[in-house]
Amino acid sequence: MKSSQKKKKEQSIDEKLTVRLEAQLQDIKDKLPNPRALKKTEKVHEKVGKIKAKLSRVGWLYNIKYTENKEKGIVTDIIWKRIKEREKPKGEYFLRYTKTTVSENDVWQVYNLIREVEAVFRCLKTDLDIRPIYHQIDEFIEPHIWLGITTYQIVNYIKTTLKDNDINYSWTTIVQKMKTMQSSIVSVNNSNNEKIYVKLCSRPTADQIRIFDALNFKHRPFVRKTKVVPQL
């Protein structure tokens, strides 16, 4: 399976990591002439090894050679080259399935469904604090898990409805887009010894309006609510 979006994402990540790795190697190389710089052979090899390990996604693609002064036990130069033959094709999925009667498209749909379920539960674990389970008694643990299952059904309904309206956001993206819509309460005292509470709701963005319309919700549950409470 090939994905143009995945290819762009992998290329972007590869470019950023490549710039970081080569910049760090160049920094070591530029400092070699400095008398106080890191130049001992063992230390330079260790430093470069740590850089390649930290940026392992691109580090293994490089062949690094050292020019050494064996009498002094120091490195005098570093040369690196990226081996294109080691690079893997970007934007490609390789899926293995035991049933040969299932078409490639069906396998791809099942794979995407699994990814969606995993992504939603990762989000719910954070938002609802489903894991870890802090309870120790069964009658408390079961409602905790049931809350997660029920919530997932709601999430699945929302995502399915949005997809039917050509809105293909992930659940994480939906949460991020909806976070900006908030309500606030302002309280003031008047001359009659009364406290006035004014509850306001922010205006929805274009993306939020689109989501509300797809779910057949009001754009704002309320605009302004005022409540006057006498002070004792």
Tell me, what's the pLDDT at 207?
A: 93
Dist. CA 108–CA 95, nearest whole Å: 8
* Enclosing H/E stretch for 77: strand 74-82
DSSP 181: -
185 strand-pairing partners = 199
The answer to whether the beta carbons of residues 161 and 191 sit under 8 Å apart is: no
Rounded average pLDDT per 10-residue block, the chain, 232 residues:
79 92 94 89 92 90 92 92 87 73 80 77 69 75 80 85 90 87 89 88 93 93 87 67
Length reported for the chain:
232
Q: Which residues contact 146 (CB under 8 A, 6 or more apart)?
A: none
Q: DSSP of 40-65, one letter per residue?
A: BHHHHHHHHHHHHHHTHHHHTTEEEE
What's at 7, amino acid-wise? K
Tell me, what's the pLDDT at 128?
A: 62
Tell me, what's the pLDDT at 20?
A: 94
Tell me, what's the pLDDT at 97?
A: 72
Regarding pTM above 0.75, the answer is no
Tell me, what's the pLDDT at 1?
A: 65
* The pair of three-digit structure tokens given for residue 103, joined into one six-digit string: 């078409």
Tell me, what's the pLDDT at 208?
A: 94
